[in-house]
Amino acid sequence: MTRRFVIAVDGLDESENDRLRGYLESRGQWWNWISNFWLFVTDDPTVAAEDLRDYVGSINNLARSIILEFDEDVTWAGKGPHRNEKDMFRWLHTAWSKESVSG
């Protein structure tokens, strides 16, 4: 079962963001076109919001964060580049949407 998380983190420096990116990449797929804001999908049943929160805290215990899990596909809309390799939304269409993940 694919699980979807929204992760918002404030207070990480560039190397700490790199650590978070590596952690997410090792467990699923991520999207981070907006600073301090991540979308994350995983099929790993052991990953929970609390685990993500705790990992962020292990990187920087002063960082503020909120992690939300969405059990079902969510409606979204956005504004940003959406042409060729600069397509801000391609990942959302291919990895985040319920149909593309399960299909």
pLDDT digits (tens, 9 = 90+) for 33-60: 999 999 999 999 999 999 999 999 999 9
Q: 18-46: b or e for each residue (b if 16 or more CB lie within 10 Å)?
A: ebbeebbeebbbbbbbeeeebbbbbeeee
Q: What is the pLDDT of residues 51-96, one digit of tens each?
A: 999 999 999 999 999 999 987 667 777 888 877 778 888 888 777 7
Coil/strand/helix, residue 62: coil
Look up residue 99 and give its DSSP letter: H
Residues 85 and 64: their CA atoms lie apart, in Å, by 32
In the chain, which ranges are continuous DSSP H helix? Answer: 14-25, 49-59, 90-91, 98-102
Confidence (pTM): 0.80
Residue 28's pLDDT is what? 95
Neighbours of 99 (CB within 10 A): 8
Q: What are the chain's domains?
A: 3-102 (3.30.70.240)
